[in-house]
Amino acid sequence: MSEERSGASILVESLVKQGVEFVFGYPGGAVLPIYDALFGDERLRHILVRHEAGAAHAAEGYARSTGKPGIVLVTSGPGATNAITGIADAYMDSIPMVVITGQVPTALIGSDAFQEADTVGISRHCTKHNYLVKDPSELAAVIDEAFQIATTGRPGPVLIDIPKDVQIATAVWSDGPVQRHQRYSPRTEGTSEEIRRAVEMIAAAKAPIFYTGGGIINAGPRATALLREFQAKTGAPVTSTLMGLGAFPADHPDWLGMLGMHGTYEANMAMNQADLIICLGARFDDRVTGRLDAFSPNSEKIHVDIDRASVNKTVQVDLPIIGDCAIVLEQMLVEWSSRKPQDLTAWKSSVEEWRGRKSLAYPANPQAIMPQLAIERLYELTKHKDPVISTEVGQHQMWAAQYFPFFSPNKWLTSGGLGTMGYGLPAAIGAQCGNPDGLVIDIAGDASIQMNIQELGTATQYRLPVKVFILNNEWMGMVRQWQELTYESRYSNSYSDSLPDFVKLAEAYGWKGIRIENEAELDAGIQAMIDHPGPVIVDCLVHKETNCFPMIPSGAAHTDMILYGDSVAGTMDDEAKALV
Amino acid sequence: MMHIQHEAEERHVLTVTVDNEAGILAKIAGLFTARGYNIDSLTVADITDNHAVSRITIVTHGPRSQIDQIHAQLERLVPVHKVVDLTEVGPHVARELALVKVAGVGDKRVEALRIAEVFRARPVDTTTESFIFEMTGAPDKIDSFVALMRDLGLVEVGRTGIVAMARGPQEA
């Protein structure tokens, strides 16, 4: 069937054809024709956010928790610029997303028209690809390609800017397959020579370690299963980046916990002492490596990544394999066949020795709730519901990563690369849309939660029972911690003054509000949060000056971790201060 | 006290074949600025009958690892078909076109014309008191020519930046 349709109608039909369920958006002048086409169309569910940044983060949360692309629809000018932070976030963390932005009519582009911004220009370096569509006849092919680019290879956000006149003008629409020139085909398989070499290196290693990242999650649940299978054959211990948590079960005897700046002692020491690092879908980020010239000095390194630009970017590796983690793991399993690994007893006993340092131990405190304890109790009381956890950015995020164990992929949503405060609440809303019967909890801090607090209204409107669990220490805790460690406790602008009453705020939005003031109330408060069928804010007052340890200070090596009880100078030299 | 460290640098010539779509040049030039890479010269023109494909020649310099990153980052742009590091591939021809305006009378004018002949630069505009010379060649040859013209009434210089191609029968 083929007929003349408006650009707006072609867009809607194309989204339906792509299997889109939810569109996270906010209307405005330059997208009115699209909103009119959505009116009364029950095939797409539009979630009206309260700020366009919320739309982008909600789409990320939906995408990360379901494995499907998140869709954003915003107007021109401020609509697009407000969404940029979320788009940049998705770009850094490789989240599949298609962003539709309205644009002023073609004839007005470049004239500084009302609500005009150079959206394609502004988004150029935070999208995987972007388009300005100048004719409705191009729309179907552009949308088809945009979904392919967003979801294959290294996933990422793709933006389509559509001028208002192109939304109104008509073109021939056919519901058959879209005819277009295929130009994007990322490499997904390793060569047999690469696979053979990798397997030989792994089989010969006496101190191997798997260093896994978000690429395993992006490669789908099959990659997670294959990782577990391959690990069982090789016996190598496993650590993961922040983005990769959940790929390997946290109760496995070979699980080392997260590595990096706030990783465990055993994970960082094992990285430092390993003779072989098998990096799967991670990118040697500065938060992971610490001081580069001291990073894992004695190891050979295999790097499996679908993005060739991630290879040798910061750390030079011995064997790069460009490919999809699931496919490469499968190739390695076949090549491994019935080989036996080296005797890893000595290596594992070193690991046990490091584990014996109990780097996540923290002091008990009879006066105040320790934030770590709050996370542990939150886990204990919710684990039977297998919750999806999102976070904001800061100390609470690191505590969640350290003390909330994960066992499967797509349960952990956090802003890793960009580190965007305000991510967690909208991400939880998006995740709840994709998991309507699941328990979705945003672990938040008192400062971060205020960055997209307006999204409380979105959850109310769509009756989304998301839970926000605030670790309230009345500080921008991570900033305060760095000021304590680096600037002799000169707490410049890091105190959360004039905090709202979060319980009353919850109630004002039609949420339930719960305050937990001491340890005796902790379990009951968490239980009341779980039991309430609607959205809940828990304002959990925690010990105010607790720092997040272990920690590799900026400019230090994996072996120079600060653990609880270590005394710190409170100053750093300029080289260390200059690092992020 | 803290000082900024610098690494040893190499100069490389890259050719990039791209879909000739709106914004592609901004995308490539912007990639260089966004990631802190250097562009010494950049030339671009379409190379197919239907104007669908362009070839860009980029001269850049930087530490070895950065050159490798530039190659990878360019390759991952969707409209980019192919990136060839000609410096890496081996022997290649690199040529640049320059227009050089020289004004003068008497001996200087005669000398300018004589040197132009030596360099195989061709006058493409002539008045009684000036020439515009067109010359193509390796960039250092153009440098030498321009340097010689400086004493002979050099007015202005326009250069295209280089285009380059690997030697031998194969496509690089």
Q: Give the tens place of pLDDT for each residue, B131-160.
A: 999 999 999 999 999 999 999 999 999 999
- Residue A82's pLDDT is 98
Pairing of strands A276-280, A208-212: parallel
The token pair that represents B138 in the structure block: 């390796």
Both A78 and A215 in one domain: the answer is no
In a domain, B1, yes or no: no
305-334 in chain A: CB under 8 A from chain B = 307-309, 311-313, 316
The token pair that represents A479 in the structure block: 């900033």
Both B18 and B60 in one domain: the answer is yes
Both B112 and B80 in one domain: the answer is no
Average pLDDT over residues A179-207: 96
**Which residues in chain A are contacts of B50 at CB distance < 8 A?**
none
Both B96 and B159 in one domain: the answer is yes
- Residue A579's pLDDT is 72
Locate tokens 């680096």: which residue? A486
Both B100 and B84 in one domain: the answer is no
Residue that is last in its domain, among A174, A207, A231: A174
Please give the residue range of the domain that contains residue A18: 2-174
CB pairs under 8 A between A and B: 44
pLDDT at residue A569 tops 90 = no
How many structural domains is chain B composed of? 2
What CATH code is carried by the domain that includes residue A82? 3.40.50.970
Locate tokens 């340092």: which residue? A357
pLDDT tens digits, one per residue of B62-92: 999 999 999 999 999 999 999 999 999 999 9
pLDDT at residue A113 tops 80 = yes
pLDDT at residue A175 tops 90 = no
> Active site residue: A128, A164, A348, A411, which one?
A164
Average pLDDT over residues A469-484: 97
Interface test with A, best of B65, B78, B83 (most A CBs within 10 A): B78
pLDDT band, residue A2 (cuts 50/70/90): confident
How many structural domains is chain A composed of? 3
In a domain, A182, yes or no: no
Please give the residue range of the domain that contains residue B142: 92-166
In a domain, B115, yes or no: yes
Residue that is last in its domain, among B58, B74, B89: B89
pLDDT tens digits, one per residue of A119-133: 999 999 999 999 999
Q: Is B58:B162 a contact under the CB 8 Å cutoff? A: no
The token pair that represents A310 in the structure block: 């991630």
Nearest residue to B84 via CA among B34, B10, B160, B15: B15
- % of chain A surpassing 90 pLDDT: 94
**Which residues in chain B are contacts of A91 at CB distance < 8 A?**
none
Residue that is last in its domain, among B38, B70, B89: B89
The beta-strand segments (E) located in B34-167 are 41-46, 53-62, 80-85, 92-103, 122-127, 130-137, 154-159, 163-166
19-38 in chain B: CB under 8 A from chain A = 19, 22-23, 26-27, 30-31, 34
Both B75 and B99 in one domain: the answer is no
pLDDT at residue B7 tops 90 = no
ipTM metric: 0.88
In a domain, A280, yes or no: yes
Average pLDDT over residues A394-410: 98
In a domain, A362, yes or no: no
pLDDT at residue A334 tops 80 = yes
Calpha distance A125→A114 (Å, rounded): 24
pLDDT tens digits, one per residue of B87-106: 999 999 999 999 999 999 99
> Active site residue: A269, A332, A476, A478, which one?
A478
Both B15 and B78 in one domain: the answer is yes
pLDDT at residue B6 tops 90 = no
Residue A147 among the catalytic residues: no
In a domain, B20, yes or no: yes
Both A458 and A313 in one domain: the answer is no
Q: Is A89:A420 a contact under the CB 8 Å cutoff? A: yes
Both B76 and B114 in one domain: the answer is no
In a domain, A552, yes or no: no
pLDDT at residue A171 tops 70 = yes
Both B157 and B145 in one domain: the answer is yes
Looking at chain A, how many residues does it have? 580
Residue A115 among the catalytic residues: yes
Q: What is the DSSP string of A58-116?
A: HHHHHHHHHSSPEEEEE-STHHHHHHHHHHHHHHHTT--EEEEEEE--GGGTTTT-TT-
Q: What residues are paired with A157 via a beta bridge?
A: A97
pLDDT band, residue A580 (cuts 50/70/90): low
Shortest distance, CA A313 to any CA of chain B (angstroms): 6
pLDDT at residue A555 tops 90 = no
Q: Taking the mean position of all CA atoms in its chain, how far away is CA B158? A: 11
What CATH code is carried by the domain that includes residue A263? 3.40.50.1220
What one-letter code names the amino acid at A359?
S
pLDDT at residue A316 tops 90 = yes
Looking at chain B, how many residues does it have? 172
> Active site residue: A3, A114, A200, A380, which one?
A114
The token pair that represents A250 in the structure block: 């946290």
What kind and span of H or E run contains A240? Answer: strand A238-240
pLDDT tens digits, one per residue of A223-259: 999 999 999 999 999 999 999 999 999 999 999 999 9
Nearest residue to A289 via CA among A508, A579, A557, A30: A557
Both B77 and B33 in one domain: the answer is yes
For residue A456, CA distances in Å to A438, A502, A541 come to 18, 11, 20
162-221 in chain A: CB under 8 A from chain B = 183-184
Residue of B nearest to A124 (CA): B27
In a domain, B120, yes or no: yes
For residue A532, CA distances in Å to A23, A267, A375, A529 come to 27, 38, 19, 6
In a domain, B74, yes or no: yes
Nearest residue to A75 via CA among A48, A94, A44: A48
What CATH code is carried by the domain that includes residue B137? 3.30.70.1150
Shortest distance, CA B70 to any CA of chain A (angstroms): 8
